[in-house]
Homo-oligomer: A and B are copies of this chain.
């Protein structure tokens, strides 16, 4: 177990925004919220999966909603806490540790806030090793954890429980519409998994991965090195495209931010054009109409100069980007996983997943 410092959290926020592949919500606000917990005298302790007791109750939490909503509607700050408390109340037991649904932007920060508020540690790992738009797209759901009962809490004091669901997809549907009604976003907590389950099926060490990645970006910027190259070297990434955003379609649909960006290449990619489809996260990139990378592998759209992530809600015309591809964790590449998080699951037709 280790205890996080203010600089640790800054690095994690930067790295998690990158791993979030465009999604997971505003990392800046999320970071301020965790840092505020430390300033209030609370602690954020991190445990590895190996350190969890097999019978520990590990609760996965995060925000649910379209990241774009978070720009105008800030969280009140205790949504996830209230969701966890509602579950504890319902199940008659306390939670022993908190884990992230996804390592991405604000949703990598929310579990730390909740853990600090509860006085329990946060797990070094998550359910995606990145971000995905839907709740049933975690390794937890894919490998058989039932999310019900799941609790959603809003900024106002409303709490909804999905008590029984015939599938994980129905937890997502019912949770999503509750979140929309609650104002477009809510804090969510699902039925706890055992420590034994988390050890086997959580994507491991992603909080540390985010921290290392964020630190690499900070170092590159302070040492005037090339942050994109640092990220590629550190993570085994592939630099796929350098370009400027020349077209941007974004709409809020069914509680998701959907759309597409078009990049006009420069440098090594001058004269080429790339398109990236969005559903909260970046799903697939085509260069000259040919698929270069698709989910579940990670499509990082980074600021060309600083290496910081550009999350989908702050994309804008004229931004200069570097697109880097990272391989996803093997847990996300199984046949069972590809049914849920492969390109077909997002309605992307005619694309079969080819690992990067």
Residues of chain A at the chain B interface (Cβ within 8 Å): 86, 90, 151, 156-166, 170, 173-174, 176-178, 180-182
* 14 pairs, CB–CB < 8 Å, chain A vs chain B: A151-B163, A157-B165, A158-B165, A158-B170, A158-B174, A159-B162, A161-B161, A161-B162, A173-B181, A174-B178, A176-B181, A177-B178, A177-B180, A177-B181
- Point out the residues of chain B lying under 8 angstroms from A164, CB to CB: 86, 157-159
Closest Cβ of chain B to A241, distance in Å, is 38
Q: A174-B178, A181-B173 are in contact. Are A160 and B160 (CB under 8 A)?
A: yes
**5 new A-B contacts at CB < 8 Å, known A159-B163, A177-B181:** A86-B163, A86-B164, A160-B160, A160-B163, A174-B181
When the two chains form the complex, which single residue of B157, B160, B176, B177 contacts A162, counting CB atoms closer than 8 Å? Answer: B160
- Point out the residues of chain B lying under 8 angstroms from A178, CB to CB: 160, 174, 177-178
Contact A160 B158, beta carbon cutoff 8 Å? no
List the B residue with the shortest CB-CB distance to A156.
B166
List the B residue with the shortest CB-CB distance to A179.
B177
Closest Cβ of chain B to A293, distance in Å, is 33
Contact B160 A161, beta carbon cutoff 8 Å? yes
Most B-side CB within 10 Å, residue of A158, A160, A177: A160
Contact A174 B156, beta carbon cutoff 8 Å? no
Give Cα A86 to B178, complex, Å. Answer: 19
- Point out the residues of chain B lying under 8 angstroms from A159, CB to CB: 162-165
- Point out the residues of chain B lying under 8 angstroms from A173, CB to CB: 181
Contact B161 A163, beta carbon cutoff 8 Å? yes
Contact A160 B174, beta carbon cutoff 8 Å? yes
Closest Cβ of chain B to A305, distance in Å, is 43
Closest Cβ of chain B to A92, distance in Å, is 11
The 6 closest A-B pairs by CB, nearest first: A159-B164, A161-B161, A177-B181, A159-B163, A157-B166, A177-B177
Contact B158 A166, beta carbon cutoff 8 Å? yes
Closest Cβ of chain B to A96, distance in Å, is 22
Closest Cβ of chain B to A184, distance in Å, is 12
List the B residue with the shortest CB-CB distance to A151.
B163
- Point out the residues of chain B lying under 8 angstroms from A176, CB to CB: 181
Give Cα A174 to B86, complex, Å. Answer: 16
Most B-side CB within 10 Å, residue of A158, A162, A176: A158
List the B residue with the shortest CB-CB distance to A164.
B159
- Point out the residues of chain B lying under 8 angstroms from A177, CB to CB: 177-178, 180-181
- Point out the residues of chain B lying under 8 angstroms from A156, CB to CB: 166, 170
Give Cα A264 to B67, complex, Å. Answer: 52
Give Cα A181 to B177, complex, Å. Answer: 7
Give Cα A161 to B165, complex, Å. Answer: 12
- Point out the residues of chain B lying under 8 angstroms from A165, CB to CB: 157-159
List the B residue with the shortest CB-CB distance to A163.
B159
- Point out the residues of chain B lying under 8 angstroms from A182, CB to CB: 174
- Point out the residues of chain B lying under 8 angstroms from A160, CB to CB: 160-163, 174, 178
Closest Cβ of chain B to A74, distance in Å, is 18
Closest Cβ of chain B to A205, distance in Å, is 35
Give Cα A163 to B91, complex, Å. Answer: 13
- Point out the residues of chain B lying under 8 angstroms from A162, CB to CB: 158-161
List the B residue with the shortest CB-CB distance to A173.
B181
